Structure 1
C-alpha cells in the first residue's frame, strides 16, 4: 500500500493501538496535543468524510464515543475535541478523526501550532496505550 493512512490503519507501520474493530483502527497520535490524543482511521482507504460507507461511519462514531469515555475516565480533561480535516488539510490523504483531551486555558489554535506540540517518547506512548486499553476493556464489559 502506498497510502500512509492505509499502512497505519492496517498496522503495516508501528502504531500504538488502543482499540480496533472490523472497520477502524484507533491509535495514539505520535505528536499528541495532550496525553491520550488518539486517531481513528478506517482500515479501508477513504480520503474524505463523504466517501465513508455506512458501516465505517457508524464504527468511527462508536469508537469516538468509547475513546471519549475512556479519555475522560483516565485523564479527567475539561473537555474533548473531536475533529477531522478534509481536502487539502488532510495531511495523511486518508480520512482520520482526532479525539483530543483538552484543558482550560488551552487554545484550539495551539493544536495546529508547533509551540504546544508535545512529542512523547516511546516509553510514554506504550504506558498511555496500556492505560487506555485497560480502561476501554473495563468500559466494554
Structure 2
C-alpha cells in the first residue's frame, strides 16, 4: 500500500527493529513504546481494519502475539502482558496491527472503563439482536 509506514517496514524501505517475521506477519519494536519491549505485530498483507484481515493472517497475528508474550515474560520481570488492538479512529496507522506490551504494576498505562447503567432487560434485547444478525450472516 502506498504511503503506509508498516508496508514500508515490511518491504524493508524503512528501518525498524524487526524481532520476528514469517510469510504472514512482521513483528517489530514500537518506536513510541508504552514500556520497553513493546512489540507491534503486523500482517504482511495490507488491511486497514480488523474486519478486513484474511483468516490465515489473523491466525498468525494471534499465535505470534502469544509467542512474543512468552519472549517478553522471559526477558523482563513483568507483572503481566497487555495484548491490544484498536480500529477506526482509535488506531494511529491505517494498517491493522496488534500491540504486545510488557506491563508493570505502577507503569501508569490504564484503560479506564466508563460507568454504565445497563439494565438486565437491555442485555436481553442486545443478545437477541446480535444473535439475529449472526444467524443472518451465517457464521
Structure 1 gaps, min length 5:
111-141
Structure 2 gaps, min length 5:
112-139
- Equivalent residue for 1:16? 17
Contact (CA 8 Å) 1:10, 1:25: kept in 2 or not? Answer: no
Rounded to whole Å, the distance in 2 between the matches of 1:89 and 1:5 is: 17
- Equivalent residue for 2:59? 58
- Equivalent residue for 2:81? 80
**Which runs of at least 4 in structure 1 moved beyond 3 Å after TM superposition?**
none
Bigger relative contact order, structure 1 or 2 (CA pairs below 8 A, ≥6 apart): 1
Q: Return the index of the structure with the highest Cα Rg.
A: 2
- Equivalent residue for 2:38? 37
Q: CA RMSD in A?
A: 1.4
Give the TM-score taking structure 2 as reference length. 0.74
| Equivalent residue pairs, number | 110
Displacement of 1:109 in angstroms is 3.4
Rounded to whole Å, the distance in 2 between the matches of 1:97 and 1:11 is: 19
- Equivalent residue for 1:92? 93
- Equivalent residue for 1:26? 27
Displacement of 1:88 in angstroms is 1.1
Rounded to whole Å, the distance in 1 between the matches of 2:6 and 2:19 is: 16
